[in-house]
């Protein structure tokens, strides 16, 4: 299973994010962000952080925070604005934690976190193969 997953991740290289959707139940901390890639891959996650030049730029934890701005942060919209038209160079999974790292052109790195034994991210590839954060470690 791990080898098939690694191969499927590798095949996403060269794709781009074409759409980002978000769903937020009553509690803002339960935000679910779904990324749609140009190759047909879909990734849904609760916990993510975008780095630019090695520095944190925006995260799912920033969603609805005001930070003394005129309007609260809409993290998925900001994520789309940053990654729009950026090509995915590398996608990998940490075998110890189950965290995903997606590296895009322009020194942009999207980290997808697996904080618990529950399904906090799900990825479905264009060929129908899918994997969940809590099973990828088996």
Count of other CB atoms within 10 angstroms of residue 94: 14
Average pLDDT on 36-45 reads 97
Which residue range is the domain that position 98 belongs to? Answer: 2-132
What pLDDT does 72 receive?
Answer: 74
Residues 6+ apart with CB under 8 A from 106: 52, 86
Structure confidence at residue 134 (pLDDT):
84
Average of pLDDT values for 7-29? 87
Q: Which run of H or E residues covers position 6? A: helix 2-11
pLDDT value for 33: 93
56: tokens are: 């944190």
Contact (Cβ atoms closer than 8 angstroms) between residue 16 and residue 87: yes
pLDDT of residue 115: 84
60-88 pLDDT, tens per residue?
A: 888 777 766 677 777 888 999 999 989 99
- The count of structural domains within the chain is 1
Contact 21, 34 (CB under 8 A): yes
**Residue 137 counted as domain residue:** no
Residue 138 lies in a domain: no
pLDDT band at 29 (very low <50, low <70, confident <90, very high): low
Asked if the structure places residue 118 within a domain, the reply is yes
Strand pairing partners for 103? 90, 109
Given this model, what pLDDT does residue 69 score?
Answer: 66
Q: Report if residue 9 sits inside a domain.
A: yes
The pLDDT of residue 11 is above 90: yes
Q: What is the pLDDT of residues 110-133, one digit of tens each?
A: 999 998 777 889 999 999 999 999
Cβ burial of 18 (10 Å; 0-12, 13-18, 19+) is: middle
């Amino acid at each position: 299973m791990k080898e098939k997953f690694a191969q499927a991740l590798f095949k996403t290289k060269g794709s781009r994010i074409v759409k980002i959707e978000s769903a937020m139940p009553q509690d803002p901390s339960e935000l679910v962000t779904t990324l749609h890639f140009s190759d047909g891959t879909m990734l849904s996650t609760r916990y993510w952080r975008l780095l630019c030049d090695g520095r944190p730029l925006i995260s799912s934890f920033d969603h609805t925070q005001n930070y003394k701005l005129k309007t609260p942060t809409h993290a998925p919209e900001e994520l789309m604005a940053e990654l729009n038209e950026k090509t995915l160079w590398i996608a990998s999974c940490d075998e110890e934690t189950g965290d995903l790292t997606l590296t895009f052109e322009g020194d942009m790195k999207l980290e997808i976190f697996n904080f618990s034994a529950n399904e906090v991210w799900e990825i479905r590839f264009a060929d129908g193969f899918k994997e969940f954060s809590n099973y990828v470690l088996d």
